[in-house]
Structures are given as C-alpha cells and as structure tokens.
Structure 1
Amino acid sequence: MGYIPEHALANLRKYAYKGVDKSLLSKHVLNPFWTWLVTLWPTWVAPNTITLSGLTMVLINFATLLYFDPTYLSEKGGATEPPQWIYFTWAAGLFIYQSFDAIDGKQARRTGMAGPLGEMFDHGCDAINTTLEVILTCRALNLGRSWWTVASLAASLANFYLTTWEEYHTGQLYLGVFSGPVEGILMIVGIYTVTGFTGTTFWDTPALTFFGLDKVELITKYVPNRGLNEAVMALGAVVLGFNIITSYYNVFKAKVEANEGPFRPLLHLLPFPITVLIQIFWLSSPSFNRSFIINSSLFVPFMCAWGLQFAHQVGRMILAHVTKQPFPWFDSLWIWSIIGAVDANMLRLIGRQPFIQHSPENVKIFIHLTLAIFFFSYASFCTQVINEITNYLGIACFTVRKKDDIGNWRRAASVDKINTNKKA
C-alpha cells in the first residue's frame, strides 16, 4: 500500500506552489543575492540536488559537534568544550543551507521542474534541519542537555507545524515580517558567530547586567536578571506567540473568503500538543530520577527520534496538501512513543517498575531502538512518496527533464485537467 491513493494521484498534476514573503530583509537584501546565486548553478543540476546539498551542510555541522564534543553523547554531557572556531563553521554551514533552501525553487522554475516533488523534498529537509539546529544552537548557548533545550525543540517544532498547518488550509506558504526560514535562521547564524568570538560561557552573563539595566529598580522589580541564553529562549516564546496569532488570522481570513467554517481548522492543531505531551511525559518519568534521560547520553538520541517522528507527521500533512487529501489526524509512530512513555511511567501510573525500561541499560537499548525504528520509518516514507510521485509524473528526483519531457508532462497535465472538468 502506498501513501497516495489512486484517486489522489491526479491531483499531483494540478498542484502549483503559492507563497507570500513579507520579510523586508528578504525582499531588499537576500532575494537579490539569491537571484544572483542561482545563476551560478548549471541548468542540468536538479533543484532537489541543491536542497540536499544544503541539508548536507547541516549534517556536517552536527557531525562536527559529535566529533569535537564526544562527551555530549557520554554520561559527562558536554564537559569537553568544542574549539571556538567550530562555531564559525556552523554559522557558514547554516547560511549556506538557508541560501540553497531559498534558490531550489528558483532553480525549479529555471529548469521547468517546479511541482509537488520539490515541495515535499524541501519540507522534508527543513523538518530534519529544525531538530538538528535546536541541538546545535542550545550547545552554542551553553544550555546543553537541559529542559531549556526540550522547550526550545517544542517551540521550534510548533512554529514548523503552524506553517505547515497554515499552508494546508490556505493553499500557500506565508512568511511574515519575522519568519523562521529568514530572520530566525539569520539570528542563529548570529548566535554561532558571537559564540565563535566569545565562547559559550558568554551566554550565561545576566541579561540585565549586560545591558546595564540591573541598576534600574523598576525593571529589576519585575524582570529577573537571568542569563542571556534564557533571554533568547524568552524571545523565542514571544515570536511563537506572534506566529500563532498571525497563522490563525491567515487561516481565518482564507476560510471566511471561501465561505467555510473558520474554527474547524483549530481542531487540526491538536495532534501537535498531543505529541509534545507524550514526549514530555516520557522524559519526566520517575524511574531512576525525573531527568534521567536528559542528564544522560540518551538525550541526543531521544531528541533526534522525536525530530524524526515529527518529520514523519508533518511530511504526511504536506503530502495531504499537495494531493488534496483529508487532514492526517493520526500518525502510526505515536503508538511506539505511547508505549515508551507509558512503560517509563509505570511507577507513577500503577506503582510498579516498568516492564521494558526497568534498568538504565534497558532504557538505553529501548531509546536507541526507538531512534532506529523512527529513522527507518521516515526513510521508508520518503522513499515511497518519491517513488510514487516520480513514477506517476514520469520524472526523476535528481535529474532535470529534457525539453521534450517537459512538454509531454505539461500536455499530460492539461489532459488530466480536461478530463477532470468533464467528470465534474
């Protein structure tokens, strides 16, 4: 069984990307740069090749974290400080990722390959990048393995989910005056750059002291003098709140214009908090201690597994968007996460030790098994969807169509549209 039902395959030919970018930085600075950058790529290079090249930069960044800070995956937990110059490479790698992510669509239009496959591929890479950047950014901010990092991942995934949910209901990708793919990424590039000059301990500096506000009684009375890294987290929470309001406003407006119920889409937000609660329930299990996973070498594998489960979930959402299928309420990977969370909390639920995770060694085996299962599940999803789309449209994922092929594809799309209209 495939992910795209037979009746939904024809919708692939009808799909057309629509996007709105309100960012002034993007319009006046970055877009002229991207327009020039795409001309450096030969037209025989497929857009998805550019997208994957960008993700490779992020994977290299993540690999350098594990190489230069091996204790991040050990019980000591980041006791070895990576060399400061490594943060400059993280900044460069992320900037390259953003640039490649921005020009893959331009390359698609240059080569006549714009379509649903590129949309799926782009979102899949973005979903993987989101989790990896949270881990890297929190390391650069000296937050490391902590509940702050968990909160940061939840907030970052929430922003991504909101964007995908909004695109599903409005039919277009909306990037506001401050968006994750533009200003958010540049802010992280700035964090990496500052850390490269100052080291991670700089971010522990009390924020009010740093800005010279610790002597202002009116401010210190209501604002705690916490570290700069926690101030960054607070800023992220404000941005998330703003994006929630903006996303729903766009969905509300689109539904009213279409004479549809503007409140029903809110129900489609429920799957995300459910998944977050499952993961937090698992992380806060009373077995051994409430922060056992967070304070152990299992933290990074757990976060990566969570990110893969999320990527699978939003991947199915964007697939439903490009094929005009019903909203996917349930994700099969939830079952495994629920088993893990319930088992870890057996002491809290029924007063007995977990059946599976009853020892630190068993917890380690189970979480690494979770990571492996989620990785292969997401890889299988990506492979199957790519095969279904390429087989139906007669295209290749990493090969540019010849001009004749493009003409045939467009003629086939027109025939499908005519047939659809006749049926209607």
Structure 2
Amino acid sequence: MLGINALLLIYVSTLFHCGTTLACQLPDSISMVCSLLYFAWIIFDNLDGKQARRTQASTPLGLIYDHQSDALEITVMATFFGIISLFGNSPYTIAIWTTAAIHCYFENWEALYTNSYSMSSNKYLFVGMLALIYTALGSEFFINTMVFQTELRMLVFYGFCSWVSIEVLIRIFNVLMKSSNKMEAFMNLGSLFYIIFCVVVVLVFSPVGLAYAGTREFVLFLGFIFAREMGFLQLAHVSNSEYEPLNIPNYILLSLLMFNTSCHAWGFPLLDEYNLLCFLLLFAGLSYLHFIYSVTKEITKELNIPILTNLQRKIQSV
C-alpha cells in the first residue's frame, strides 16, 4: 500500500501542476520529488517480494495487489515521462504507455502458461534512473542534443521500443518451449490485441485528434482497462482457473469508444468524442474499483479473512 501511495502522489503532483494537459513543464523540484517517489515505490515493491519469498507467506490477494501495482505504475510513469520528455499531448505519450503495457502483459502471460516467473526487476531501476537523468540534465538537453541527426529523446524512445520487442520475442519463445497449452496461450492474446486495436483506431481515425485533445484522459482510460485485464490474468494464475480474456465491461467500453470514433470519421457524428471519452473514463474507473472490491471480498472469504465482513458490520451498526 505504501508503494501504491507513492505512485498516487506522483500522479497527483503532475495533475496539480499541469491539470488535464500534459503540455507543460514541471518545476525541477517537483520532477526530482516524483523521481524519488518512484524509487520509493521500487524499494517497497522489492521489500514486499523478498519478504514474501523469505517467509513463504505469499497469498493470492497479495500477488494480485502486487501485480495491480505494476499495472498502475505503467499509467503513472507514462504520464510522467510524457511531461518531462516534452512529448506532452501527442501520440508519443500514448505509444510509451502502449509499449510498457505490452511488456507488462507478456511478463504475466508467460508466467501464467509456463508457471515460472522471469520478471526483469532491473527495468524499474532503469526507468527510475532515466527519470533522474531527465531531471538533472533537463528536457531541453534531450531535445537539442542530436545523435545521427536524430533527437536524443527519440533515440531513447526507439531504444525502449526495441528492448521491449526483444523481451516479448523471448517470452513468446519460452511459452513455445515450455507451455503445454500453446494454442490456448496464443488465442488468449486477443485481449491485448483488442486494446492495441483501440489505440490504433483512435490515433488514426479520430477527427478531433483525441491523442492531442485528451491524451491524459485517454491514457488513464486505457490504464483502468489494462489494470482490470491484468487482474483477471492474475486471478486465473493464483486460482489455477481458466483465463477468460477481455471481460465484458472492458469489451463494451473499448467498443463504444471505437464505434463513436469511427462514426465521426465516416461523417456520421453521434456524440462529442472528448465528452464520451470522459464519460467512459468514469465508468472504466468504477468498473476497476468494483473488480478490486469483488476480488478482495471473494478471496478473503475463501481464506477466512473477514476483513470486508467486519467492515460491513461496522457500517450497518452505524
């Protein structure tokens, strides 16, 4: 919980100083504080993992919350890097989120179908160091420094995408070599591809350019969708049950956004694109919170940990 609070402080800090836009420049002091908060999250996350392995006291609920923290970290840091890299309200910020989400999904996908974790914990240290370097040298340094006639920030972006591509290929190879359910594993990648498809549709067909007009809102919307999907992936892993990709609320929310965007592109506008995005964002957040509540309630009931039961009794007594 301390780690999640650190991530929330980072997001709230960027929201307080920049509002809904990402086209702003954070004060150096705020950028430094956010970078240090990210390192605090890394420390808390590693301590939690090492403690669980040392005591062998890992619980299904703990595993789900741990990986939910990883899923939320993607949205927070994609927003933060969109600001400090001065990509701002642009498709590049959305591309940062998408690339990081692909990496996170394939990590957990491999774990589900090979029953072995090969998480690259060094990635978090790399992200934290990159945030500190951006803060220390300044965003303008990465824009004005040209290497092979290319901005340094673009080389960093291309390097990040290349590294994720290599990692994904390695994890696909591991599943091919170790999994006994190869066909099921690859069929269940449909949920990730549907999210990516939604991103492509909005980037290509949105007449008002949601990638520019509502970058923060779109990334947050995708973040709630992705975190919920990751929750179902982890739930299947810890309960040894079948993973059902693209749960109904996620499918409906993504489809509504794509349908409205397509109607605008075809010349049949139904609802204002930005207003609909904000409306769907609200429902995506509520859907995610409902998932967290439901999973917590079911697992604590199964493990005879009456946390929510006692809470409900206290509320009723009041």
Q: Do these two structures clear the TM 0.5 threshold for a shared fold by scoring above it? A: yes
* 2:139 match: 200
**Of 294, 301, 312, the match for 1:391:** 301
Matched, 1:188 2:127: yes
**Of 317, 329, 350, the match for 2:233:** 317
8 Å Cα contact 1:207/1:231 also seen in 2: no
Letter in 2 for 1:377: S
* 2:37 match: 93
Q: Which has the higher helix share?
A: 2
Q: Deviations over 1:103-140 (max 9, x none)?
A: 11333456664221111111111111111111112222
Give 1:287 deviation, angstroms: 2.6
Cα separation, partners in 2 of 1:396 and 1:121, compared to 1, 3 Å: farther
Aligned equivalents of 1:397 and 1:246: distance in 2?
A: 41
Aligned equivalents of 2:306 and 2:115: distance in 1?
A: 25
* 1:20 match: none
Greater shift in the superposed pair: 301-310 or 59-68? 59-68
* 1:230 match: 154
* 2:23 match: 78
8 Å Cα contact 1:166/1:251 also seen in 2: yes
* 1:379 match: 289
Gaps spanning 5+ residues in structure 2: where?
A: 309-318
* 2:94 match: 150
Matched, 1:299 2:215: yes
8 Å Cα contact 1:168/1:321 also seen in 2: yes
**Of 254, 267, 272, the match for 1:352:** 267
8 Å Cα contact 2:91/2:212 also seen in 1: no
8 Å Cα contact 2:64/2:235 also seen in 1: yes
Gaps spanning 5+ residues in structure 1: where?
A: 1-51, 209-213, 215-224, 358-362, 399-424
Rg bigger for which structure? Answer: 1
* 1:266 match: 186
Aligned equivalents of 1:65 and 1:278: distance in 2?
A: 26
Aligned equivalents of 1:254 and 1:383: distance in 2?
A: 34
8 Å Cα contact 1:84/1:195 also seen in 2: no
Letter in 1 for 2:295: V
Secondary structure in 2 matching 1:174: coil
Letter in 2 for 1:353: F
Letter in 1 for 2:261: A
Letter in 1 for 2:268: Q
Letter in 2 for 1:276: I
Cα separation, partners in 2 of 1:395 and 1:109, compared to 1, 3 Å: farther
1:108-147 equivalence runs, <5 A: 108=52, 113-147=57-91
Name the TM-score, length of structure 1 as normaliser: 0.68
Q: Over the residues paired in the alignment, what is the CA RMSD in angstroms?
A: 2.1
Aligned equivalents of 1:278 and 1:284: distance in 2?
A: 10
Total equivalences in the alignment: 307
8 Å Cα contact 1:252/1:263 also seen in 2: no
